[in-house]
Amino acid sequence: MRLARRPVGDVGPDDWEHVTEAAAAPGAGRFAGRTRYISLDPAMRGWLDDRPSYLPPVGIGEVMRAASIVEVTESDHPDFQVGDLVTGAFGVQERVVSDGRGALKIDPAAASPSTYLGALGMPGLTAYFGLLDVGALKDGDTVVVSGAAGAVGSMVGQIAKAKGCRVIGIAGGAEKCALLTGELGFDAAIDYRTENVRKALRTHAPDGIDVYFDNVGGDVLDAALANLARHARVVICGAISQYNTTTGVQGPANYLALLVARARMEGFVIFDYAPRFTEAAREIGGWIAAGRIKVLEHVVKGTVDDFPATLQMLFRGENTGKLVLELD
């Protein structure tokens, strides 16, 4: 699946081109494989814009960048054997040839393969380092997370609970909110579609928010800023409400609350934490094994042709947990 043109606003079917080419033999020092699972992430929208960011944009005509799980079908690489399951940034394609750089073997006995794209992959690691390192989580903190039923948000809330904090999730719809408090152990959930988020935060966090982990931006970010505790940390992970804007990003009008609350707002890029990924994945894996963290996945079965429509589910809030495309 190649990028055909740069989308303006919402990504549509005409922004992509499905090109069929003969699968190549791997060649010396390489392996070939077939894609089993493709990760769909809000950050993908940013990669489609031609502007400087933490990664170069996907070029027109290039295979769409994506993390995936690949099963090795042929190998001339000493570290990868036929049948191995491997994760890496292999892109949105059915067949893959790789020299192994950036590829990591996964253990399907330890967790189901798609978990390595979610709770044990970038979303889980993003939640872990964003909350603990950037957010500098402390005992007794009140944590609020937006996009709380998403891949990152559901992990943020559960990690904060595992660390003994009080957690309030913001999500869209009664079903997601019920899931947060009923299944994932959140202390409270706020439905931004039907509730006044600012007032609801005042109710659920009367002493203010110590850590606000933002995945959405826009009005929800402003509502959180209006409810900060002193020395609060606002973690800027993403802004899914703003990614498809054609009228300019809505800046947080309440940013001067940072002054009154002596608070900080900080961004981060997960790749900077690569040296500590193994350590973090081990701790997350322990929580999963102990039943303290539930893996929340939304698996769509289909082909790479389903990638464009599946991607749009993210921006309509139609997924609950990590959105994955499982190839037939």
Q: Which is nearer to a copy of itself, 172 or 238 (CB)?
A: 238
Beta bridge partners of 71: 34, 85
Cα→Cα distances 78→74, 85, 86, 106, Å: 12, 15, 14, 16
H-run or E-run covering 166: strand 166-171
User: Does 196 help bind a copy of itself (rule: CB under 8 A)?
Assistant: no
Single out the residue of 5, 262, 276, 292 in contact with a copy of itself (rule: CB under 8 A): 262
Closest alpha carbon to 68 in 43, 47, 86: 86
SS3 159: helix
The two beta strands, 31-39 and 228-236, are unpaired
Q: Which is nearer to a copy of itself, 93 or 254 (CB)?
A: 254
Number of chain residues interacting with a copy of itself (CB under 8 A): 33
Q: How far is CA 130 from the centre of its chain?
A: 12
Q: For the chain, percent helix, then strand, then coil, each to nearest 5? A: 30, 25, 45
Shortest Cβ 261–a copy of itself spacing (Å): 7
SS3 133: helix
Backbone angles phi, psi at 221, to 5 degrees: -60, -45
CB 93 within 8 A of CB 33: no
Q: CA–CA separation, 20 vs 15, rounded Å?
A: 17
Beta bridge partners of 105: 86
Shortest Cβ 159–a copy of itself spacing (Å): 20
Q: Which is nearer to a copy of itself, 34 or 202 (CB)?
A: 202
User: Does 254 help bind a copy of itself (rule: CB under 8 A)?
Assistant: yes
Contacts of a copy of itself in 44-63 (CB under 8 A): 52-54
Q: Mind giving me the DSSP string for 240-252?
A: GGGTT-SS-----
User: Does 272 help bind a copy of itself (rule: CB under 8 A)?
Assistant: yes
User: Does 290 help bind a copy of itself (rule: CB under 8 A)?
Assistant: no
User: Does 261 help bind a copy of itself (rule: CB under 8 A)?
Assistant: yes
Contacts of a copy of itself in 213-252 (CB under 8 A): 217, 222, 236-239, 242, 248-252
Q: Which stretch binds a copy of itself (CB under 8 A): 21-29, 80-88, 168-176, 258-266?
A: 258-266
Q: Residue 4 CB: number of other CB atoms within 10 A? A: 15
CB 28 within 8 A of CB 39: no
Shortest Cβ 49–a copy of itself spacing (Å): 11
Q: Which is nearer to a copy of itself, 178 or 256 (CB)?
A: 256
Q: Which is nearer to a copy of itself, 63 or 258 (CB)?
A: 258
Shortest Cβ 209–a copy of itself spacing (Å): 15
Cα angle 156, 160, 161; round to 5: 120
CB 93 within 8 A of CB 1: yes
Q: Which is nearer to a copy of itself, 17 or 266 (CB)?
A: 266
CB 169 within 8 A of CB 216: no
Contacts of a copy of itself in 125-184 (CB under 8 A): none
User: Does 259 help bind a copy of itself (rule: CB under 8 A)?
Assistant: yes
User: Does 268 help bind a copy of itself (rule: CB under 8 A)?
Assistant: yes
Shortest Cβ 9–a copy of itself spacing (Å): 16
Shortest Cβ 196–a copy of itself spacing (Å): 17
User: Does 264 help bind a copy of itself (rule: CB under 8 A)?
Assistant: yes
User: Does 265 help bind a copy of itself (rule: CB under 8 A)?
Assistant: yes
Shortest Cβ 269–a copy of itself spacing (Å): 6
Residues lying near a copy of itself in the complex (CB under 8 A): 52-54, 217, 222, 236-239, 242, 248-269, 272
